[in-house]
Structure 1
Amino acid sequence: MSRYRKVEVRTWSDRKFRALSPIPPCGQGLWLHLLTGPHTGPIPGLFRAGRAAIAEELGWDQEAFDKAFQEVFDQGMAEADFGARLVWLPKAIESNKPESPNVVKSWAAEWAILPECPLKARAYEALCEALKSFGDSYLKAFTESCEKPDVKPSPKPSGKAMANQEQEQEQEQEQEQDFGSTDPVEPSGSTASNHPKIPPVSQGRTDKPPANRYADDIHRVFQHWQRVMQHPQAKLDDKRMSRIRDRLKDGYTASDLIAAVDGCTRSPHHMGENDRATRYDDIELICRDAKHVDQFLRLADAPDMTGMSAAARRTATAAQQWLEEEGGNAH
């Protein structure tokens, strides 16, 4: 019997799963979420995510998340550069071996959008070592498809330092917006770091949210859409970014929009079974307005028809539409 079990990423956005009692703040719960959550991508254990975004996804406050992450970090199970919003699970590739060198080549698009930082450079070296153990063809596929980061790998940071990185970055961004200055000042008594620090902004400011308030969620939704719809070369242009941001401002969570993307995959019409044989699967369409999001969220809870024949799917779709119309007439 296999030692491994498959867990669908969409589990975290499933309506029934989300209706269950939530996971309390703890190291084990965080580890399972880091390993299988909607932020994960094709590269085992390496993904873009921020502290606030992960904490919000789990429904934890920031202090509880930091404590749980410290537990995971202390066990050597995860590292992060929260300033760059990059998380790495060093041992993930050992239980998620790519099936072939071609799978490794397919990592190229995801690798290109991961933020450049010393942690990415360390992950590159570790992945090279792991892939070499699988065979020279795996290593060759990686080094030829994924460019080596142009930064030096850094020593393993402390968990506390990682938790502070994102806070420092946000403080710098707000300070620049408030005072129009990009000349940082090193506070007295500070320890050495990779970049200078500036005085923190007042904790009492509430009149303007951080400029990157939705950045993590926008990237999570877009990257999920790229993977699910198989558009690895698609660009997050201003129009797509604006649509996703607008829906987040409407009150939808990133998990809601990820579920809406999944719902679109369950619509034969949008996946190309229409008179024009054209797919209507752009994230701009899915997030065009609240009505579209709600429609695709309903489809996410509908039966999965991807395993049916085209004729059976058309019949099932027609029956589903009839039931919805009859239900509407009954009211």
Structure 2
Amino acid sequence: MSHVQGMTLAYNYCLGEGLELGASLHNSFHLPNCPNLSPSDGTAYLYERDLLDYQHYQAGYINYSNSEMAPVDLIGDFQNIPKADISLDYLVSSHVIEHEPNLFAAFIESDRVLKNFGVFFCIFPKRHATPGDGVRRLTTLQEMIDAHENELGMLDMPPESWRGHYQLLSLQSMLRAVNYLNQQHLGSWLIETVEETDSKVGNGHTIVLRKYEKLAESRWPDDESFAQAFFSAWESDRLGEALAMLKISLSFNFFDPVKLHLAGHLSRQLGYTDEAIEFLRQALIIEPENEEFRREFFEWSGIIYSNPVL
């Protein structure tokens, strides 16, 4: 559900001192006191090519929205955030991260500037959101790994595709990337919630992550020890604790339909209705013929489930 101005989900998670990457006036989050970071402001720039890119984009933007571009407060991008270490409560962006050639570097830089428990709130486009992308294949996890190992940056990009859609992602491929980052100790990203279709405009996916420095040490060594701790918390009515356990486990392997189903039930019991439906939707993406999941999805949402990935 969208906020009257902005996006309800962003208002729930983007609290404190934050920064938006690539803000736009025609599609604002309307978050209070949230500066805008961009590669150029029409005068200053991160790379010389960004100035030309800004001027080209400015002309198209005025024709498209009949308004001015959003004021730029800081010069930078997802690989160059001019903020001190552990200084921000949140980062927020919409349709920006796909323009970074090195996805893992963007996450590592975001980790650097966020405080512990800080939020990474990101909307990125569906593969059919932009003409031409629909016929392209998704960026593979191995390509993301190679870009990171080769320290790929903007100066390695050809000028004819400057700041293009270097990443083509599904929600599931992004979640696999987050799982990999956590497994390889390249990040400590707790998966808070997702939206298969973003509740802001509806042409992208949403992922909400929280930096949790103790994520790795909070992981259970095996399924048996996890189950004992989880059901002890649930049976003792410590529902918030039980849900947190599931989120920790899913942050290392999101593609467990049983845990996604349980996360849906706990979220619903705790009053997080939209989050509950999204967890259940992800369980159904993995097990689309699970009739119990389908029945519950209809009961919770009033909508007959259809697979959004196909």
Please classify the TM superposition score into its range, dividing by the shorter chain length.
under 0.3
Give the number of the structure whose residues are more often helix, by fraction: 1
TM-score for both structures, normalised by structure 1? 0.26
Give the number of the structure whose residues are more often strand, by fraction: 2
- Which one has a bigger Cα radius of gyration? 1
TM-score for both structures, normalised by structure 2? 0.27
